[in-house]
Structure 1
Amino acid sequence: MSRIDVHCHYIPDFYREALIANGHSEPDGVPFIPPWSEESALKAMDETGIAKQYLSISSPGVHFGDDAAARTLARQVNEEGARLARAHPDRFGFFASTPLPDVDAALEEIRYAYDELDANGVVFTTNFHGMYLGDEALEPVYAELNRRRAVLFLHPTSPTTNCGPDGGYPLPYPRSLMEFLFDTTRSVTHMVVSGVLDRHPDIKVIVAHAGAALPVMASRLDVLGRRATGKPQAVHDALRRLHFDLAGMPTPDALPALLRVADPSRIHYGSDAPFTPHPEILATAASLDAAEELEGALLDQVMSKNAQELFG
C-alpha cells in the first residue's frame, strides 16, 4: 500500500441524480457517469496499492446555474466527503466543493468545510461558467484560502469557448480528450499572469494531469506574455512553486517534460478514478513504477512521501 492518490473522485447517489436532473447525464461529453461506491473504491484501492485517497467532486462541479441549488449541493457533497473521511480516516480525505461563482456562498462553505468538517483542501474547476481563476472577483476567496494555508486542487472542466455555430462543441469527442488540458493551461496561465500566486503565496495549488500543456509552453508563455503585457512573466518560476498530479497517462511523454520544469518534491500520484477505468489505472501505475525517470528514491517521493509532506 505505497500510493497516496490526490486526484480521484466520489460520486454519491444524490450527486449522480443531480447531474442527471440538470442535463449532465453525459458530463463533458463522456458517454456515461461511471459507477462508484464506497465499497468498490476501497476494493480498487487495495488492488492498486493505494493507501489513501483525497476525494473530490469532478467536473462539472456543483453549480448548474442556480445559486441556491449550488449552495445546497455543495453542502451535501461536503458532508458526504466528511462522512467518508470519518468512517475511513486512514483511507479517505476530501477536498471541499464550493458554489462558485457565488463568492459570498463560497466563503461561507470554505469556512464550514474547514471549521466543522475538517476538509483537507478545496477543489476548483478551471472555470466557473466562464469565470477563470485569475478573475479579480475571486480575490476574497483566495485571501481566505491563503489565510488557511490551504491545498487547492484544480480540476479541468469544459471551456465556455470553442463552441460551434449552434452553441455546441464542434468535435465529436468528449471535452476531456483535449479541452480539459487546454482549459487547465488557460486557467493556470491566467492565475500566474494576474499575480494570484504572488499575492497569495501560502496557497498550495495542485495542477491536474501533469500540468497539461504548461511544461511544453512555459518558454513561449514567458516570452510572448512579456511582449503582450509589457511586464516580465514568471511562468517558469511559477511551475517550480506549483504542485502537480500524474493522473491521465503521464508516461512516456508528459512525465519527462514535467520533470524538466517542476520541483520533484511537488509531484504526486493521481489515479483519476473512477473516470479512468480500473484496468487503465493499473496499467498507468505499473508504467510509473517502471519509469526510468522515477528510479530510486524519487519513486517513493512521488507515490507517497510528497503527499505526506503536503498534507502533514
Structure 2
Amino acid sequence: MTTAPRRIDVHQHVVPPFYRDALTRAGIAEAGGRALPDWSPEAALDLMDLLRTETAILSVSTPGTGFLTDPGEAAGLARRLNDHSAAVTAEHPDRFGWFATLPMPDLGASAKEAERALAELGADGVTLLSNTQGTYLGGEGQDALWRVLDARGAVVFVHPADLPAPAVDGIPPFAADFLLDTTRAAYLLVRNGVPRRYPNIRFVLSHAGGFVPYASHRMAVAIAADTGRSPLDTLDDLRGFYYDTALSSSPAALPTLLAFARPGHVLFGSDWPFAPAPAGQYFASGLDNWVDPHILTAVNRTNAEALFPRLAARAPAQAPARPLPVRLRQSAQRAGARLFYKLIQPGTN
C-alpha cells in the first residue's frame, strides 16, 4: 500500500493496574481462557503504529465488573474505570477514544453510569457484555437502560463473556464459546424487538458477530416460527447491527461478513492486548490483501467516521517519529505478516 490506512480500531482493550489488582484479589488471572495481558498507553501506541492505526476506542473486556457480587462495589469500580479511560483519552486525544463500563446486571446503576459517562465524561459509547452473571442482553426487563441509551443515540459495543456453563476441557472459551455468547445476545435482542423499539441505539457486535452472519437465515426462520414475524424483517434487523473484524478477517469469515452486513456496517478491530501483536498483524494482513481497496478504506476508517463523527472532523494525527531501528523492525514485521498470511492459506485443489 502506498499510504497508511489510518485505521480506527473499535475493539481495543484497556487493563489498568488497579483493575488487574481487583481481579487478582478475586482469584481471576485470565479472561476467556487467556492470561490477563500487560497494558500501558505506550504499549498500545506501539501496537497501533505497527498496525497503522490512528485511533483506538478503548474498552474493558470480560468480566467487566460482573465478578463483584456487591452492587455498590461494582458501581464504584465502573466509575473508576470510566474516569481512568477518560483521562487516558484526554492525554492522547488524537489517538484514543473509549467505551464506558457499566455495572451490569444492575440496570438502575448501569443507566445512571451510562448517563454520567456519555453526558459528563464524553464517552464514545458504552460496553455491554453479552451476558453478565448469566443474564443476557435482550432479555426481559431491560428497558430502563435501553431508554437512556436510545435517548443519547448511543453506540453499544457488545463484547462476549464466558458462557454461564462450565467450560469444556481443551476448548479455551475465547476460541468458540465467545462466538456463541455474542450470537445468543444478538438473537435475543432481535427476537425481543430491541433494535426496533430503540432505533437510535447502534449496536456493534464483536468478532464479526460470532456466528450471526453464517447462521442468520437459520436464526430468522426460528424467530419467525416463535414470534410470527416475517423472517425478512428479522434478517433486516440482524443486518442492521455493526460488526467488527477482530480475529475475523480471514478468507473464510470475511466474505460471509461482507456479504451479509449492511453496507457501511463493518468496522476494523484488533482485540489487542488479549490478541497479541502477531494475531493482530495476521488478521490485518487478511483485510489488506483480500478486500477491494474501496471497501478496505471503508472498513479501516470511513464506516467508523460515520458512527463517530468527531473522528471525521480531525486532521490526520501525527504519530511521534520512531527511531530508524524501530521503523525498520516494524516494516520487517509487516512484511513477515503478509508472507505468513499468504503461506498459511489453504490450497485451492
Equivalent residue, structure 1, for 2:204? 206
Check whether the contact 1:63–1:69 (CA below 8 A) recurs between aligned residues.
no
Residue type at the aligned position of 1:248: L
Q: How big is the alpha-carbon RMSD for the aligned residues of Structure 1 and Structure 2?
A: 1.2
Offset of 1:19 from its aligned partner? 1.2
Aligned to 1:298: 295
Task: Give the aligned partner of residue 43 of structure 2.
Answer: 40
After TM superposition, what 4+ stretches of structure 1 lie above 6 angstroms from structure 2?
Answer: none
**Pairwise mapping of residues 1-312 of structure 1 onto structure 2 (< 5 A)?**
1=4, 2-30=6-34, 32-64=35-67, 65-161=69-165, 163=166, 169-233=167-231, 234-291=233-290, 294-312=291-309
CA distance in structure 1 between the aligned counterparts of 2:307 and 2:31, rounded to whole angstroms: 30
Unpaired segments ≥5 residues, structure 1: 164-168
Cα deviation for residue 215 of structure 1 reads 0.8
Whether the 8 Å contact between 2:204 and 2:243 is mirrored in structure 1 is yes
Q: List gaps (5 residues or longer) in structure 2.
A: 310-349
Letter paired with 2:70: D
Please tell me whether the aligned partners of residues 186 and 238 of structure 2 are also in contact (alpha carbons under 8 angstroms): no
Corresponding residue SS for 1:265? coil
Q: Aligned-pair distance for 1:173? A: 2.7
CA drift of 1:135 comes to: 1.6
Letter of the 1:69 counterpart: E
Letter in 1 for 2:306: E
Paired residue type of 1:271: S
| Alpha-carbon distance, 1:170 to partner | 3.0
| 2:323 alignment partner in structure 1 | none
| AA matched with 1:201 | P
Report the Cα offset of residue 101 of structure 1: 0.7
2-structure distance, mates of 1:28, 1:271: 16
Displacement after TM superposition at 1:49 (Å): 0.2
Q: Which residue matches 1:166?
A: none
Of structures 1 and 2, the larger Rg is shown by: 2
* Aligned AA (1:13): P
1:198-252, Cα deviation, whole Å (9 max, x unpaired): 0000101101111210111111111122223333343310132111100013211
Equivalenced residues, count: 303
| Equivalent position SS for 1:274 | coil
1:186 Cα deviation after fit: 0.8
Instruction: Measure how far apart 1:66 and its partner are.
Output: 1.8
Please tell me whether the aligned partners of residues 219 and 236 of structure 1 are also in contact (alpha carbons under 8 angstroms).
Answer: yes
TM-score (norm. length: structure 2)? 0.84
Structure 2: distance between partners of 1:23 and 1:67: 19
Cα distance in structure 1, aligned partners of 2:219 and 2:168:
27
